[in-house]
Amino acid sequence: MVHFRREKYVPRGGPDGGDGGKGGDVVLVVNRHLNTLFSFQHRRIYRADSGKGGGGSNMTGRSAKDLEIEVPAGTIIYNDETNEVIGDLVEEGQRLVVCRGGRGGRGNARFVNSRNQTPRIAERGEPGEERQLRLELKLIADVGIVGVPNAGKSTFLSAVTNAQPKIANYPFTTLQPNLGVANLDEENTLVLADIPGLIEGAHLGVGLGHDFLRHVQRTRVLIHLLDGLAEDPLADYIQINSELALFDDELGTKPQVVALNKADLPHVSELWPDYKALFEEHGIEEPLLISAVSGENVRQLLYRAVQVLAEAPEPAPVAEMPVYRPETDPNEFTLKRAEGGFRVIGEAIERAASMTYWEYHQSRRRFQRILETLGIDEALREAGIQQGESVFIGDFELEWEE
């Protein structure tokens, strides 16, 4: 603020314009109760508040509060323009400042010196940062649904969530992982991923499994669906587990809930006692008989998955390689020929232009001194600028005068 003290019996009170407050930062905060990025589908622009203006009597304006945006654990933040990793948030309460608010502008009381005791000059607030971000969820699901093609994984996912995967009676109907959220009750929510069918040799790239085994790595518990119409469901179970272990040793140790699907078919129900005994004989604990079509034992399977998930160890955070950014001198600038003159591009000079009160003569003179200090006026002369041509700096257009 440009302000002068005016009180009775206080002649020549002097400048007392206060500084402006700092703008708020935009901060991403991990909330372990969140497990999707669904909220960002409906809101794309987030803006922190600006700081308040300064007042008389050297009063500083109030700084704005930071804007905190909650994200689930496992969120990777990219700069969408450069594809650079800005951060990987994996722990509860972890914070990452993605855009910093600008500092408040200085009032005229800050510009007093022995040669200018009544400055009519002030600064606007520094512009805040602006970024285009892309968020990706590294842990895409709590529970992954695995099994051979046509075991009924997509039917099961569509039955327990609002997901609408493609369902058809032929192998490899699912060509990409499908995600769904199952709300069991007020306290229990599961994020389920339907992984495309795995076949023998998937770890070597056979079929569709090679690309999607990586998604299984990002889950904590597996629901292993077996096809009740298969010739040998136990052989399918052993084959899938072998493929998981061959791709990644840790995949073979993930907790599993095993269920035989298609209980709505009489043939499957009749064979269930024999299958159950065979499964238990091979170390499969508490196998279930379900029907994704009729819903038989489906909720029981989901609650079993919730129980196993609660007992499963927390995933170890993966340390991301640090990103080293080359340091650049903010005072550097470049000149480009533009229609009617030259455009000056540089971090420091563009910031100075946006913080200048052009209506005050002393502010304009100060900006002229900044041009001279940075060597911009000399560079413009060497570039051949002529009287009356324009100089574009940020959003401002100035006229060159010798």
Intrachain domains 1-138 and 143-311 with the same fold: no
pLDDT at 130: 92
pLDDT at 162: 62
pLDDT at 214: 61
At the topology level of CATH, where does 1-138 sit?
A: Spo0b-associated Gtp-binding Protein; Chain: A, (2.70.210)
**Does the pLDDT at position 334 exceed 80?**
yes
pTM above 0.75, yes or no: no
**Domain layout of the chain by residue ranges:** 1-138, 143-311, 334-399
- Out of 41-45, 70-74, 250-254, 365-369, pick the least confident: 250-254
Q: How far apart are CA 241 and CA 227, in angstroms?
A: 15
- Out of 83-97, 117-131, 153-167, 273-287, pick the least confident: 153-167
- Identify the CATH number of the domain defined by range 143-311: 3.40.50.300
- Out of 75-89, 133-147, 332-346, 358-372, pick the least confident: 133-147
- Express each pLDDT in 296-314 by its tens digit: 888 898 889 888 888 887 6
**Does the pLDDT at position 393 exceed 80?**
yes
**Section 25-52 average pLDDT:** 87
At the topology level of CATH, where does 334-399 sit?
A: GMP Synthetase; Chain A, domain 3 (3.30.300)
**Does the pLDDT at position 83 exceed 50?**
yes
